[in-house]
Amino acid sequence: MARKPIIAGNWKMNNTASEGAELVKALKPLVKDAKCEVVVCVPAIDIPAVKKAIHGSKIRLGAQNVHFAEKGAYTGEISAKMLKEYGVQYVIIGHSERRAYFGETDETVNKRTLAALNAGLTPIVCIGESLEEREGGLTEKVLDRQISIDFQGIEDFSKIVIAYEPIWAIGTGRTATDEQANETIGYIRKRMKKVYAHKNVGRLRIQYGGSMNAKNAKGLMAQPEIDGGLIGGASLKAEDFAKVVNFDK
């Protein structure tokens, strides 16, 4: 079965609830004929307003993080069950910003991913190397470590999405070339097949993320290993995001 492309916006800490609702209202008509899955991952407090605003459209709702415990004394955190009850279908886990600024580790990424899956959410798990690591020839070593820990215990890889986001390409305007992104995602897929054989890895979707935009989406999406994109800056304007979503038009 072919892997269906998935384009997801990661709004990060942008858009109030009313701004978010306006953005998706503008986006709705622009993506109504999209062939790919279209997702917006919004700040948790925007979820109710965005949910209402996307009603009746192709756009699906995602969150940007989830806690691993079912419930309890974790001030400020949000559980998978809370997201699920609100109609959230996807959740970004282990974004490099969370790893860098909020102490996220491979172990907590793994726990969050399993909690999301248990609740019936689709995790979009971010992995990728820093500039220093790439320049030091450590890309594969870093990816191997993330792959071996972040996905432990997962039984069916058709139920998750991986976003390969080289940290040096995030918010920098310095996109990986089509070939670089394809090659590294090909490496991730090969490694996943080896480490998680017989767990439906053939249906695993892997996105590229890092300065992907209206201009470079077509070239990246034409690469055989790339199944989609996780879009930061370019997801904050309806027209720009729609151009990425409509990469095949």
Asked about 55 being catalytic, the answer comes back as no
Distance of closest approach, residue 167 Cβ to ligand 13P, in angstroms: 9
Regarding 170 and contact with ligand 13P (CB under 6 A), the answer is yes
From the number of C-beta atoms within 10 Å of its C-beta (0-12, 13-18, 19+), residue 89 rates as middle
Dist. CA 30–CA 17, nearest whole Å? 20
Q: Quick check: 210 binds ligand 13P (CB under 6 A)?
A: yes
Exposure string of 142-168, with b = 16+ CB inside 10 Å and e = fewer, is bbbebbeebbeebeebebbbbbbbbbb
Answer yes or no whether residue 120 interacts with ligand 13P by CB under 6 A.
no
8 Å CB contact between 24 and 56: no
User: Residue from 135, 171, 179, 249 that binds ligand 13P (CB under 6 A)?
Assistant: 171
Taking CB under 6 A as the rule, does residue 166 contact ligand 13P? no
Question: Per rule CB under 6 A, is residue 10 in the interface with ligand 13P?
Answer: yes
- Closer CB to ligand 13P, 43 or 196, in the complex: 43
Question: Is residue 212 at the binding interface for ligand 13P, with CB under 6 A as the rule?
Answer: yes
- Binding of residue 230 to ligand 13P (CB under 6 A): yes
- Using alpha carbons, select from 37, 7, 35, 40 the residue that is nearest to residue 21: 40
**Rounded (5°) CA angle 157-166-230:** 60
Q: Which of 146, 211, 223, 246 binds ligand 13P (CB under 6 A)?
A: 211
67 a catalytic residue? no
- Residues facing residue 162 across a β-bridge: 125, 206
Catalytic choice (37, 97, 129, 165): 165
| Site residue total, ligand 13P (CB under 6 A) | 14
| Catalytic option among 95, 104, 129, 225 | 95
* Catalytically annotated residues: 95, 165
